[in-house]
Amino acid sequence: MERFGLAFNHYFEKWMFLIIPSSLVLGFLFASTLQPMVHAVPYLFAFVTLTMAMGCGLSQLKEVMRKPAVMGLTFFLAHVISPIVAYGIGVAVFGIDSPYVIGLVLFTVIPLGISTVLWVSMSGGNIPLVLAMVVLDSLLSPLVVPATIHLFFDSAIEVKVLPLMLDLTILIVLPTIIGVGLHEWSKGRIQERAKPFTAPISKLCFVGVVALNASAIAPFVGQLKQDMLMLVPIVVVLVSLCYALGFVGTAGFRDSKMQITVSYATGMRNISLGIVLALAYFSPLAAVPVVLSILIQQPLATVHHYILQKINKQKSSKASKRHVT
């Protein structure tokens, strides 16, 4: 059973860039069947967050605190510069009153994505650093998300700040605290021991979150065929810019592992949370850009991985030539 769980998790992570978009498509195709189960999304999402947090302990969080410049720069790029870019693009293309603008900004203010850890690992980045930053960003989300949405849209929409903070606390903060607590209680052993069971279940929960949320907005997407011609390229540009911001923004550190880590952190977001929030607090149309980013974020992560590998090979080649001469 344990071997099966680990093998399942391995193949899921290997093909995640196809599985997640496919689960989105299945959610649209079987919308009428899945819609009665949408109420289960918060519970599925909380389990995914708990599983992620079990891999992070207080020592890793303290290590991040010793690198305040890196952490501060990452959060600045991800949650200040990126929302400004998203707002500017959205207003320029769709107008200031468009719900699509809310969706674009919402994508940039939700916490860093859990799958960031996987891509950083595959690309040779700093795993403890990114894991701790994902946990910290998740803990800060009840403050960051409402504050940013209020800053950008207070005059245009009514933001229910207290319920939003409460939901973020239940969905993100409590599971994160429990996960970190379990990590400390087990002296860091719980994740490896539970991984054959929790890892595949959390992956299935993630698929469930994506499919169920897709079913919830399916009735509205059919009406947006013309808008999609404009929305899809805009979301591709925005997500690409988020990756680029992290890579270019850390060029001054002259540390390839740091660039890999921060570029994935600024490029990938916790999209399933974004869909939950968009559907709960804004119009279904605001969720559409966030849903589209599911289709785009993982394939672009693959492209980003390929580019990083090329850059690192060029650097290694130049370094070896200097050594020879």
pLDDT at 87 over 90: yes
Report the percentage of the chain scoring pLDDT > 90. Answer: 18
Q: What is the DSSP string of 221-271?
A: HTT-HHHHHHHHHHHHHHHHHHHHHHHHHTGGG--HHHHHHHHHHHH-B-H
pLDDT digits (tens, 9 = 90+) for 173-224: 788 888 889 988 988 888 788 888 888 888 888 788 778 877 877 776 666 6
Identify the residue whose tokens are 């997407």: 221
State the burial class of residue 87 (Cβ atoms within 10 Å of its Cβ: 0-12, 13-18, 19+): buried
State the pTM of this model.
Answer: 0.76
SS3 content of the chain, % helix, strand, coil (to 5): 85, 0, 15
Q: Confidence class of residue 325 from pLDDT cuts 50, 70 and 90?
A: low
For the ranges 166-170, 229-233, 236-240, the one whose mean pLDDT is highest: 236-240
The whole-chain average pLDDT of the chain stands at 82
Here the tokens at position 76 are: 């600045």
Q: Confidence class of residue 248 from pLDDT cuts 50, 70 and 90?
A: very high
Q: Which has more pLDDT, 155 or 164?
A: 164
Report the percentage of the chain scoring pLDDT > 70. Answer: 91
pLDDT at 291 over 60: yes
The answer to whether the CB of 298 falls within 8 A of the CB of 20 is yes
Please tell me the predicted confidence (pLDDT) of residue 265.
Answer: 92
| Cβ contacts of 41 within 8 Å, gap of 6 or more | 208, 209, 212, 213, 276
In the chain, the domains with their CATH numbers are 2-9+38-316 (1.20.1530.20)
pLDDT at 234 over 80: yes
Q: How many CA atoms lie within 13 A of 4 on its CB side?
A: 2
pLDDT at 323 over 60: no
Please tell me the predicted confidence (pLDDT) of residue 104.
Answer: 93
Please tell me the predicted confidence (pLDDT) of residue 324.
Answer: 55
The answer to whether the CB of 51 falls within 8 A of the CB of 179 is yes
pLDDT at 320 over 70: no
pLDDT at 287 over 70: yes
Summarize the confidence of residues 98-121 as an average pLDDT.
Answer: 86
Sign of CA dihedral 277, 105, 283, 285: negative
User: For residue 177, which amino acid is it?
Assistant: I
Q: How many CA atoms lie within 13 A of 130 on its CB side?
A: 30
The answer to whether the CB of 265 falls within 8 A of the CB of 133 is yes
The answer to whether the CB of 205 falls within 8 A of the CB of 48 is yes
As a whole number of angstroms, the distance between CA 238 and CA 108 comes to: 9
pLDDT digits (tens, 9 = 90+) for 5-26: 888 888 887 787 778 778 878 8
